[in-house]
Amino acid sequence: MHRRRCVTEDAARTAAGGVREELLDPLRRTLEWMLTLRDGRGRILCPEHRVEHSGKSAGAIVLALELRRLDPRCDRQRWAAVAVEQGRRLVANLEREGTSPAHTFRPGRHDPFNCSNSVIDGGAASDALAQLAGDLAQELDAEDRESFAAAALLHARTYLRYAALDKGVPAQRAWGLTGLAAAWALEPDEVLEAAALEAVGLLERIQHGDGSYPYHPSAWGAEHPGASDVSAYYQSRVTAFLLHALERLGRAPSDAAFRAPLERGLAFLSALVGPDGIKCGLVEAKPWYWGATYEVASHPFDAFALARGWRHFGGEELAAAAVASFRSWARHLGADGALASHRPGPGRGRSYQCPLFWAGHAMWMARAVEDLEAILAGPAVQAGADECVRVRHFPDASLARLEDGAVVAWVRGRRPGVSVLHGSPHGAGLLRVVRRADGSELLERCRLGGRQEAEWSGRCGGPAPLRGWRAGRSELGFSLWLARVHLRAGRPLQALAAPWRVLLRGVGAFAHPRVSSAFALDPSMEVGADVVTVSGPLAWRDGSAVAGSRVERRYTVGGPGLVVSDRLEACGAAREVAYHAPARAGALEEADAVRYRLS
């Protein structure tokens, strides 16, 4: 076996002080909460899924190491002991895949209640173990230092070098890439380097020209068209992981070979972030994960990508979005340190993933702390020029962001497809409007509902069971898995309700005669300097158009605020068609069109 050399992460990975409490306190609480879940063997056991999520235990290692380095109040010996304890757990969970040469970290894909797979868990584990071996190189005993480095390298050499090149989901490939690059930093060799750089190139090539990423590209095996939609939840992962991996590989992200895709990805990500730090969550290929129209579970990845992007490329907009993302995440953290993915409210429910998953992801928020501190210590930043009217258009995602000194709004055009589990549930119009001054939502949205504010809705025909069955039959089998998860978590009533809920929402709602302007899949969209126009039909929930119907929609900023002009030009065979005006609309006018202002 080659001699390994443990290296520090970079020149900045030295003892540091001066980080404000605003940044450190949420991270301490997150890690302390994770540690309350340990059993007598040191395993961090998920109370929801009743399994050791090893990939999230890796997050505890990084949290402990970063707090040990950055927090002047911390017990450095205690955090070192936590990191070593969880490092030993990861090494104990590294096993060979039968007769295959691949070694992976259990449970990975082997326990379905882990709700993860081997490339996600393994990328996080190799990354954390490599950092552990490097950061504590002078303090570990020889056996621990060798075992941590050996496990990271063995997994990278026998599994990640392949998985980072062949997984169907870009975010999963990128997560594997983080472990691959971290292992190379421990012991550089040409094989790992070649695989890592090839993975970087593949991820860059799958990116859309406007900077967005498909969640599961059709070319990479997506089973449903909606899965190839873009995802507010996953967008930042690829960019964040590319930035991290390139640094580990000794490549400057600002080099011409890498810069353009990274800047495009950051531009799309920052455009999703509102002045309240919340992303436009209705742009989502995987809506079944969430019990609301937004989530903050992805904000550690967002904050890292935006803050690290600011470090390499500059830009006030990235800086402002990074801080806003951190603060909105911190506001959703409970006093005990457990994260809520969203606030409770009408029409909102439980999200699929668990608080332990989200706590493990906080490792990326910890890695962003120094950049966030630098942003906050500098001149005050604003998210764009507040008084300027601006419209940004991302044509591949068919998304426009409109803003002026009063509001920020998002308008969506076409979408690739939709079911109850896959694809963005709304399009062909207005998704979200936020007031700059106080972060108030000016548009009520529910993820799955009947009449929606700022939409035309009505009925056409009668119930269509065949249409509903086509849209939802494949989702019913998955509902039984959701029931098993509830049952394992001790929620028998929710277990019984899960199949019925998917039947009602995935089949019944798609069979319903309700039609809406929000359901059209392929409207036209024109973008000007201060206006976006969307034209399309009324449609059933699956996107099927009502013949002969047409809606013309115009969204203008600079009034101040957003001026909405909505005209129903033809309803075709639809009946009882009416417009649901937002409760916060001002100066409402109705004739043959609806016109109002949101400010």
What's the pLDDT score for residue 450? Answer: 60
Q: How does strand 94-96 pair with strand 103-105?
A: antiparallel
453, 583 in Cβ contact below 8 A? yes
| Cis amide prior to 72 (ω within 30 degrees) | no
Helical pair 142-155 and 170-186, crossing angle rounded to 10 deg: 140
Q: Please report the pLDDT score of residue 490 as a whole number.
A: 85
Per the listing, tokens 């989502």 go with 284
Q: Alpha-carbon distance 411 to 384, whole Å?
A: 19
- Rounded Cα gap, residues 85 and 112, in angstroms: 25
Q: In one letter, which amino acid is 197? A: L
How many whole angstroms separate alpha carbon 519 and alpha carbon 132? 49
Residue with tokens 């649901």: 580
Tell whether omega for the bond before 560 is within 30 degrees of 0, i.e. cis: yes
Phi/psi at 177 (nearest 5 deg)? -60, -35
Please state, in angstroms and rounded to a whole number, the distance separating the CA atoms of residues 296 and 274.
Answer: 12
Query: Which tokens belong to 424?
Result: 């963005």
| Of the candidates 395, 382, 423, 390, the residue with the CA atom closest to the CA atom of residue 232 | 423
Q: What's the full length of the chain, in residues?
A: 599
pLDDT score recorded for residue 489 = 82
Q: Can you give the pLDDT of all 599 residues of the chain as single tens digits? A: 333 333 333 333 333 458 999 999 999 999 999 999 999 999 999 998 999 999 999 999 999 999 999 999 899 999 999 999 999 999 999 999 999 999 999 999 999 899 999 999 999 999 999 999 999 999 999 999 999 999 999 999 999 999 999 999 999 999 999 999 999 999 999 999 999 999 999 999 999 999 999 999 999 999 899 999 999 999 999 999 999 999 999 999 999 999 999 999 999 999 999 999 999 999 999 999 999 999 999 999 999 999 999 999 999 999 999 999 999 999 999 999 999 999 998 889 989 999 999 999 999 999 999 999 999 999 877 654 456 899 999 999 999 999 999 999 999 999 999 999 999 999 999 999 999 999 999 999 876 556 789 999 999 999 999 999 999 988 888 888 888 888 888 889 989 998 998 899 999 999 999 999 999 999 999 999 999 999 999 999 999 999 999 999 999 999 899 999 999 999 999 999 999 999 999 877 766 689 999 99
Are 383 and 324 spatial neighbours (Cβ–Cβ below 8 Å)?
Answer: yes
Structure-token pair, residue 51: 């399994």
* Per-residue model confidence (pLDDT) at position 387: 60
Do the strands 586-590 and 514-516 form a parallel or antiparallel pair, or are they unpaired? unpaired
Q: Given this model, what pLDDT does residue 13 score?
A: 37
Q: What is the DSSP string of 407-453?
A: EEEEEE---S---SSSS-S--SEEEEEEETTT--B-S---SS-SS-T
Q: Do residues 134 and 185 make contact, with C-beta atoms less than 8 angstroms apart?
A: yes
pLDDT of res. 173: 98
pTM: 0.95
Beta bridge partners, 44, equal 38
Domains of the chain: 21-377 (1.50.10.10), 390-462+514-598 (no CATH), 465-511 (no CATH)
3-state secondary structure of 221: coil
Q: Which amino acid is it at 544?
A: S
